[in-house]
Amino acid sequence: MDNKKLIAITGASSGIGAATAKAFSAAGYPLLLMARRIELMEAMNLPNAICKEVDVLDLEGMKSAISEAEDAHGKVDCMINNAGVMINGKPQSQNPEDWQKMLDVNIRGVLNGIHLVLKDMVERQSGTIINMGSIAGIKTFPDHTVYCGTKFAVHAITENIREEVSGSNVRLINIAPGMVYTELLDHGCEEEARKGWMDYAEQIGGALKPDSIAESVLFSYQMPQEVCVREIVICPTGQEP
14 binds ligand NDP, rule: CB under 6 A: yes
Helix axes 109-124, 59-73, angle to 10 degrees: 40
* In contact, 208 and 178? CB cutoff 8 Å: yes
113 binds ligand NDP, rule: CB under 6 A: no
Candidate ranges 7-15, 44-52, 116-124, 214-222; the one touching ligand NDP (CB under 6 A):
7-15
How far apart (Å, rounded) are the C-alpha atoms in residues 101 and 89? 14
148 binds ligand NDP, rule: CB under 6 A: no
20 binds ligand NDP, rule: CB under 6 A: no
Number of residues that bind ligand NDP (CB under 6 A): 28
Task: Find the shortest distance in angstroms from Cβ 3 to ligand NDP.
Answer: 29
Task: Find the shortest distance in angstroms from Cβ 26 to ligand NDP.
Answer: 18
Distance (Å) of CA 192 to CA 3, 44, 142, 144, 183: 49, 34, 11, 12, 17
37 binds ligand NDP, rule: CB under 6 A: yes
How far apart (Å, rounded) are the C-alpha atoms in residues 121 and 132? 19
- Our answer to whether residue 221 is catalytic in this structure is no
* In contact, 45 and 26? CB cutoff 8 Å: no
Binding positions for ligand NDP, rule: CB under 6 A: 10-11, 13-17, 35-37, 54-57, 82-86, 105, 132, 134, 177, 179-180, 182-184
